[in-house]
Each structure stands twice: as structure tokens, then as C-alpha cells.
Structure 1
């Protein structure tokens, strides 16, 4: 049974990693698009550049930081709920077969 638990934990780590990567990529694209539509400018590529105003650099950092974190929390919780539901369904099916 412990071996099965370790296998499930490994599966969850893999799923969680993939979900995290996909969420970060998608959130960056969506937030960049929203930034461009809202401000009329492309997101600042180099925050250290003096061509980017301090207010714009800080504003973009705040939007990206908060947006990315919210997306990660929502997706991680959703993925965990789905995984737990799948695990419970798998256990129920195992009980029926046994």
C-alpha cells in the first residue's frame, strides 16, 4: 500500500509541475495581452532600461506578480480537486472489482 501511495504522490508531483508550467505560460500571455490593450504599449521587456518609466516598470511588475500568483493558486487548487476526485473514483472502481 505504501508503494501505491508513493506512486500516486509521484503522479501528483508530475501533474502539478505540468499544470504549474502551463498556467505560468498562459497567464503571462494573457496578462501581456491585457497590458497591451489597456495601456496601448507592449509590456516592458527590460525593467532596468531607463527608456521604461519607473511607474510603468513597477506597475507591470505588480500586475504580473499578482496575476501570476492568482492564476497559480486557482489552477493548483482546481488540479488538486480534480486529481483527488479521480483518485476517489479509481478507489471506488477498485472496490467494485474486488
Structure 2
């Protein structure tokens, strides 16, 4: 049963993180276009992209995507806790 629980949590957590990352990326692209009037860099490593534009994109997109994934996984863990009465595997305290 514990192994099944772990698989369910892994799938649930992955879906939540991927969904949040996709939504965050869409919002970031829209926000970048609104703020700069340009498309976000498709590849910040491209030498044709200004280095400061690449740095700004990497910092903003990395931070916001990671934050969105973390918040989605926290919500998923809360839902899992309400559904099962215990924290998901990997989030349980030792001995719990």
C-alpha cells in the first residue's frame, strides 16, 4: 500500500508541477511582451541576444517558474493530506 501511495503522490505532484510551469511560462511570455514590447528570448545563450536581456529573462523566468511549481506542489500536498489523512511520502516526518 505504501508503494502505491508513493506512486500516486509522484504522479500527482508531477502533474501539478508541470501544469504550474506551463501556466507560469505563458504568463511570463505575455508579461515580457507587455513590459519590453519584444518576444522573450527563445534561446538566451544565442550571441544575438543582448547579455542583459538574457540575464533578466533567466532570472525572472527561473524564479517565477520555480515559485509556481513549489506553490502547486504545496497545494497538491494539502489536497493529498485532506484526501488520505496523512502527508505524502517524502514529506512525512521521521516516524510518522
Same fold per superposition (TM over 0.5) = yes
Match of 1:77 in 2: 74
Structure 1 stretches of 4+ with a deviation exceeding 4 A read none
Q: 2: CA distance between counterparts of 1:16 and 1:37?
A: 31
Decide which of 4, 9, 12 is 1:7's aligned counterpart: 4
* Deviation of the 1:19 alpha carbon: 1.1
TM-score (norm 1): 0.80
How many Å separate the matches in 2 of 1:29 and 1:56?
18
**What residue is the counterpart of 1:55 in the other structure?**
52
Superposition map of 1:1-98 within 5 A: 4-88=1-85
Task: Name structure 2 gaps, 5 residues minimum.
Answer: 86-96
For 1:46 and 1:11, the matched residues in 2 are separated by 35
| TM-fit CA distance, 1:47 | 1.5
Whichever structure has more helix as a proportion of its residues is: 1
Tell me the number of residue pairs that the alignment of Structure 1 and Structure 2 aligns.
85
| Equivalent position SS for 1:48 | coil
SS at match of 2:44: coil
Q: Which runs of 5+ in 1 are unaligned?
A: 89-98
Cα drift, residue 46 of structure 1: 2.1
